[in-house]
Amino acid sequence: MLVSGCHFGDCHYIFGNEFAVKQFEKTRAMVKLLGIGDGRLRLEWISAAEGARFAAVIDEFTDQVRALGPSPLVPTGPGDGGARVISSRSVEPALSERRSSARVEGSQSRSDVVRARVKVKA
């Protein structure tokens, strides 16, 4: 997944790119939790005037993901017992376990716990 937005200070939505960073970090934590690997995830700041750069980033990221091979979450063929198929039933227990183990003294909100977990894992 490639997430792209305008440069800081140039965002029409004023704080849109700051919000995008927060959401991206949450997504990165989830990707790591699921064991997908963050090589399939990228955040780039590209303005509307940087068409050539946007195209280059798309090409580079496409090559990067292709080099990683098929997603570990999708079966690659009939009878593929090695692929992991993720469902909400399999993810929720892992999330609950991570949430309880990530409690940090002084943390008040769920977002504090997520931020603390991301800092510990990074």
pLDDT in 10s for each residue of the chain, 122 residues: 999 888 888 877 778 888 889 999 999 999 988 888 889 999 999 988 999 999 999 999 999 999 998 888 776 666 655 445 555 555 555 555 554 544 444 444 445 544 544 444 44
Distance CA 18, CA 9 (A): 10
Structure tokens at 26: 């949450």
Q: Where along the chain do its domains lie?
A: 2-70
